[in-house]
């Protein structure tokens, strides 16, 4: 990476305090570049932290075995939303059912991996790394690795993590950089943009100084965009933690931010007791935020550019426990949302008559979904080529 030319061309032009001269042509070129970058596909990952009860999310409500194992943690067909023969969505997923109706939702059933771990930490790191032997919270993430080569060619972070202070495992790579969204409140935004705008850009040939100026320029654009779209945004996304974070993602996508992956997590799915009301509340927050995000992307013409993938580290046990809750299990459904997905059910539903040690058995390897997503993203490295085959989840 060492570049002798850059070394020789150090900032000799930087000694003057204020710069004079017009915006260099390179700025326009840089903007063009980033516009081109961001026309590529991006991915929004929502991680349901704690182990989502998959069988109460996509529900075989009339299956006698479901009714036998679930007495208190049971959703009745009469209240649920029918999506297929004998298959229902949880009633809290009402707005996601609209997305389903509009052919923009794919549900992959029975997803997991061989010898599934019931440990939060182990299974989370398996899902985040794509490596079945991953150690908890350490090592590289599958998206971080997949983006490493792209990051080398990009000055801007290729990943955003919303609402986390550290880099999520999924995004850890050797090169990949993860940013947090600009934590700017609207009352400050105009002042910040004005201050940045008040500075005369330099006419320097120095590449580093130009980088700083191009990033300031992007910052001004991003804030302008934020201010311009505020009423639209407020009208569209729910005022929940997830809704606000998805609002930031929407803003970044609409601002043509060069990031390719956005990550956020919704915690609280570890429903060992008193599951029914808590689970419904979580699914409601998820469903309303995701469907609002999707319709905003759709209306803005961005929906072919961004796909949402929703997964959890494991499903829960078929047999409910004694505390009106459920314990750690294995397979669960994965949701994909967007204008590029092949809508409908994918994979085969786990057979309740043949559980895996009391859990829903895995019918689809999660890495086959990752492979489909990586292919859709186009220019990422695929670490799973020799491991599994991709399943077809996206329109050609």
Partner 1 sequence: MSHWQPFSINGSPNDDAWNLRRVVHLHRRAAWGATWPELEIGVRDGIHASVDRLTNPATTLLHPRTLEIAESAMTRNSVSLLKAAWVNEMWHGSDPLGEQLTLMWHNHFATGFQKVKDCRAMFDQYLKFRKHARSSFHDLVRAMVRDRAMLIWLDGDSNRQGHPNENFARELMELFTLGEGNYSESDVREAARALTGWTARGGEIRFDTNGHDAERKQILGRTDAYDADSLVDLLVSQPATASRIAWRICDHFLGRDRVPDDAIEALAQSLRDSQLNVGKAVEQLIRSSLFFDESQLGARFTSPASFVVSNLRSLELHAVTDGPAIIPEVAAAWMRNMGQDLFQPPGVSGWPGGSSWISAATMIDRTRFAVNIAQGTLHARAPRGDLSALAKRYDEDPVSFPAKLLFGSRERSAEIVSLPQLLTSTLAQFD
Binding site for partner 1 (CB under 8 A): 1-4, 6-8, 10-12, 14-19, 135-140, 155-157, 165-167, 172-175, 177-184, 188, 191-192, 195-196, 198-199, 202, 208-209, 211-213, 215-216, 218-219, 221-223, 257
Minimum distance, C-beta of residue 304 to partner 1, in the bound complex (Å)? 24
DSSP-assigned beta bridge partners for residue 44: 262, 308
User: Least distance to partner 1 from the beta carbon of 8, Å?
Assistant: 7
User: What is the closest distance, in whole angstroms, from the C-beta atom of residue 39 to partner 1 in the complex?
Assistant: 18
CA distance 226 to 183: 12
* Residue with smaller CB distance to partner 1, 138 or 395: 138
Shortest separation between residue 192's beta carbon and partner 1, angstroms = 5
Rounded Cα distance between 188 and 196, Å, is 13
> Which residues, in sequence order, are CB contacts of 25 under 8 Å at separation 6+?
none
For partner 1, give the closer residue by CB, 45 or 134: 134
201 versus 347: smaller Cβ distance to partner 1 = 201
CB nearer to partner 1: pick between 11 and 28: 11
Decide: helix, strand or coil at residue 51.
Answer: coil
In the chain, the N- to C-terminal Cα span, in Å, equals 37
The number of residues making up the chain comes to 396
- For residues 172 and 217, give the distance between their C-alpha atoms in angstroms, rounded to a whole number: 28
Rounded CA-CA distance 281/266 in Å is: 12
Cβ distance to partner 1 smaller for residue 14 or 345 = 14
Nearest-approach distance from CB 50 to partner 1, in angstroms: 17
388's tokens: 């599994």
Min CB(122)–partner 1 separation in Å = 11
Give the residue with the Cβ less far from partner 1, 96 or 250. 250
Closer of 1 and 235 to partner 1 (Cβ) = 1
Residues 82, 331 contacting (CB under 8 angstroms): no
Q: Which is nearer to partner 1, 8 or 396 (CB)?
A: 8
H or E element in which residue 345 lies: strand 344-346
Shortest separation between residue 167's beta carbon and partner 1, angstroms: 4
| CB burial of residue 102 (10 Å; 0-12, 13-18, 19+) | middle
**Which residue from 2, 1, 4, 7 is spatially nearest to 206, judged by alpha carbons?**
7
Encoded tokens for 179: 């940013």
Furthest CA-CA distance within the chain: 79
User: Which residue has 């705008």 as its token pair?
Assistant: 197
Residue 211 Cβ, how far from partner 1 at the closest point, in Å?
Answer: 6
């Amino acid at each position: 990476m060492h570049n002798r030319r850059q070394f020789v061309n150090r900032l000799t032009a930087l000694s003057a305090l204020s710069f004079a001269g017009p915006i260099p042509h390179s700025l326009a070129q840089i903007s063009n570049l980033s516009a081109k970058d961001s026309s590529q596909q991006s991915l929004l990952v929502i991680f349901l932290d704690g182990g989502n009860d998959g069988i109460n999310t996509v529900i075989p409500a009339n299956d006698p075995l479901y009714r036998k194992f679930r007495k208190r943690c049971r959703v009745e067909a009469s209240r649920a939303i029918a999506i297929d023969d004998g298959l229902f969505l949880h009633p809290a997923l009402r707005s996601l059912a609209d997305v389903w109706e509009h052919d923009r939702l794919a549900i992959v059933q029975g997803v997991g991996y061989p010898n599934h771990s019931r440990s939060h930490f182990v299974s989370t790191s398996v899902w985040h790394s794509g490596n079945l032997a991953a150690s908890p919270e350490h090592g590289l993430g599958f998206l971080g690795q997949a983006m490493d080569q792209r990051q080398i060619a990009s000055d801007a972070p290729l990943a955003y993590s919303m609402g986390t202070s550290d880099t999520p495992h999924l995004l850890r790579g050797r090169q990949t950089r993860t940013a947090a969204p600009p934590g700017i409140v609207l009352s400050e935004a105009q002042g910040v943009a004005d201050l940045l705008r008040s500075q005369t850009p330099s006419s320097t040939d120095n590449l580093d100084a130009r980088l700083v100026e191009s990033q300031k320029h992007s910052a001004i654009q991003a804030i302008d965009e934020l201010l311009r779209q505020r009423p639209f945004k407020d009208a569209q996304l729910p005022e929940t933690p997830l809704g606000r974070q998805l609002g930031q993602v929407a803003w970044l996508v609409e601002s043509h931010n060069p990031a390719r992956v956005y990550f956020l997590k919704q915690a609280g799915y570890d429903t060992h007791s008193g599951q029914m009301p808590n689970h419904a509340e979580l699914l409601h927050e998820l469903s309303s935020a995701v469907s609002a995000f999707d319709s905003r992307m759709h209306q803005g013409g961005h929906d072919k550019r961004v796909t949402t993938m929703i997964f959890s580290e494991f499903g829960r046990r078929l047999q409910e426990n004694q505390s009106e809750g459920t314990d750690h299990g294995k397979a669960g459904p994965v949701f994909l949302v967007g204008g590029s997905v092949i809508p409908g059910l994918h994979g085969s539903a786990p057979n309740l008559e043949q559980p895996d040690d009391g859990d829903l058995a895995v019918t689809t390897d999660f890495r086959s979904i990752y492979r489909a997503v990586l292919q859709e993203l186009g220019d990422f490295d695929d670490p799973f080529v020799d491991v599994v085959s991709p399943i077809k989840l996206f329109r050609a």
